[in-house]
Chains A and B, each alone.
Chain A
Amino acid sequence: MLFGQILGWIFRPPLEGREILKQMQEVGVRSFPVVIITAAFTGMVLALQSFTGFKRFGAETMVGTVVALSMTRELGPVLTGLMVSGRVGSAMAAELGTMRVTEQIDALYTLATNPIKYLVVPRFLAAMIMLPILVIFADIIGILGGYLVSVQILGTNPTLYFRRTWNFLELDDLYAGLLKALFFGMIIATVSCSQGFSARGGAEGVGRATTQAVVLSSLTILISNYFITALLF
């Protein structure tokens, strides 16, 4: 329901430029370290694990392909989505929830400002724009992490590793991942903001809204991930 209202307000000028930039910094720039660390270690462990498996039928050189495909198509967007829903979704729900229970949302109405336009639309746009950007970085860092482990620890030939990565990676893989990221961004903002808006009853209510925001947006991301993948398959 909120999603419909968001779409209704997005195309009505003027957009809150200042708020959008502030939120883009919050969603994008501040989530950067978390996303980078997650991606690096995921790429590294992927290399280790697939090496163990592939060694059994002598296909060690394919590790690069597996890491690149898994990162771009699947783990980059999903793990970024989950990390951001934990970090940013909880913050959105807590902030809007507090504004709700302290009547700040009512105050916005009395100042003839629509809270959906002023609070939700900037968060929605920021998440929608920043998630794909974060995912691009996650993909690159994940692939580099896999490279590092393969070359430095497992002793794979570096040129061969990169060739295997590039030759089998298609732009479609990247697009599929970014499309997912776009959806995940919309999911995080919509779910978290609607939880925040419906918070009732003081600190307890805000706490519940925050938990719900993270749980619901994570679940929605995982479930929709399957269906988006199935559609693009």
Chain B
Amino acid sequence: MNKQSAAKIRVANLYKSFGESQVLRGVDLEVHEGESMVVIGGSGSGKTVLIKCIIGLMQPDEGKIYVDDLEISNLNEKGMNEVRKKFGMLFQWGALFDSMTVWENVGFGLRHQTRLKEEDIRRIASEKLALVGLRNVEDLMPSELSGGMRKRVSLARAIAIEPEILLYDEPTTGIDPIMADAINDLIVEMREKLNVTSIAITHDMKSAYKIGDRIAMLYQGKIIEVGTPEEIRNSSNSIVQQFIEGKSEGPIKVVDPSLLMMTSRQIRNEVREQRVEKNDGGGV
């Protein structure tokens, strides 16, 4: 793999909290040009928050993010939009616009960022759909697609504007193992054909080994280890070992010990209260 020293994306000392809970506590990460970086970590470890900060969907509390040596966390809307044109993102559940057909979804970025004619947009959309292995789906609505197909369409939409950087949010979650492997193949293919830099977040180790040039483990809001798949597999860090082998016993606690003392009814109430609090905080 060609590893140039130029950092395409550099995350420095990133902090982000929501109310009381500190999700990111000083994340440092460097992704080189043309490299495929996989960030692994358990549910709630802040992977999604990290990726959303990188593409500017969330503002970090502290720390800096550089894309092509440009610091992005203080950019205004217009500047941020220019940066976002370098990105394509595959969302966990696809996030397809359900009021539009498949090809309109794929062509959305082209329609809004270029002056291409309608026929050309449709043609390019079909090409990108073919690239992700989908044919004759152009006029279907997203609701008519299976989970795996939605992810493929979402990927086609992400690559339609030929981005330099691709972000994958849990690319293999929620689909069957065979389809998951097909998606992994696609991600590898994208990197080889389009020569993009990519960041994927996942907790699927099989996927991580397959698509990653390097893997970084996020734990308790920090990157605790970065290395090639081989280095990660042989890591001496017991937290990393527990995670990649998927054991419930070890330094990572599966449940908050205080919860073990509660009855199921208490847990249910606790969860409900937390949900209400969260909603009150977010809404008007």
Contacts and interface: CB of A to CB of B under 8 A. Distances in A.
Interface of A: 95, 98-99, 102-104, 106-107, 109-114, 118, 194-195, 198-201, 205, 208-209, 212
A106 B113 CA distance: 17
Secondary structure dominating the interface of B:
mixed
A110 B55 contact: yes
Interface string B46-73: 0000001001110000000000000000
A208 to B, nearest CB: 7
B193 interface: no
B6 interface: no
Contact of B283 (A104, A118, A198): A198
B95 to A, nearest CB: 4
B11 to A, nearest CB: 18
Contact of A109 (B57, B158, B278, B283): B57
A111 B278 contact: no
Given A104-B96, A104-B98, A111-B109, A198 B91 contact: no
Contacts of B96: 104, 107
B57 A106 contact: yes
A114 B95 contact: no
Given A103-B91, A106-B95, A195-B284, A112 B84 contact: yes
A199 to B, nearest CB: 7
Given A109-B57, A109-B84, A112-B113, A200 B93 contact: no
Contact of B93 (A95, A102, A109, A112): A102
B283 A110 contact: no
B112 interface: yes
Secondary structure dominating the interface of A:
helix
A198 B282 contact: yes
Closest 10 CB pairs of A and B: A103-B95, A107-B95, A200-B282, A110-B89, A111-B109, A112-B81, A112-B84, A198-B283, A103-B91, A104-B95
A28 B130 CA distance: 40
B209 interface: no
Nearest to A18: B111
Contacts of B161: 111
A103 B284 CA distance: 20
Contacts of B3: none
Given A106-B91, A113-B112, A209 B57 contact: no
Nearest to B93: A102
A103 B282 contact: no
Contact of B97 (A107, A201, A205): A107
A178 B57 CA distance: 40
Interface string B261-284: 000000000000001001100111
A198 to B, nearest CB: 5
Contact of A103 (B93, B99, B283): B93
A30 B108 CA distance: 27
Nearest to B97: A104
A107 B284 CA distance: 23
Contact of B52 (A106, A200, A201): A106
Contact of A200 (B109, B157, B278): B278
A104 B278 CA distance: 21
A153 B279 CA distance: 55
Interface in B71-99: 77, 81-82, 84-85, 87-89, 91-93, 95-99
Contacts of A112: 81-82, 84-85, 109, 112-113
B112 A110 contact: no
A110 B57 contact: yes
Contacts of A200: 278-279, 282-283
Nearest to A106: B57
Interface in B22-62: 52, 55-57
Contacts of A195: 284
A7 to B, nearest CB: 15
A199 B279 CA distance: 9
Contacts of A205: 279, 283
Contacts of A113: 108-109, 112
Interface in B82-133: 82, 84-85, 87-89, 91-93, 95-99, 108-109, 112-113
A107 B89 contact: yes
Given A198-B282, A201-B279, A205-B279, A111 B98 contact: no
A106 to B, nearest CB: 5
Nearest to A216: B284
Contact of A110 (B82, B87, B92, B99): B87
Nearest to A199: B283
28 contacts: A102-B98, A103-B95, A104-B98, A106-B95, A107-B89, A107-B91, A107-B95, A107-B96, A107-B157, A109-B55, A109-B84, A110-B84, A110-B89, A110-B158, A111-B84, A111-B108, A111-B113, A111-B161, A112-B82, A112-B112, A113-B112, A118-B112, A195-B284, A198-B283, A200-B278, A201-B275, A201-B282, A208-B279
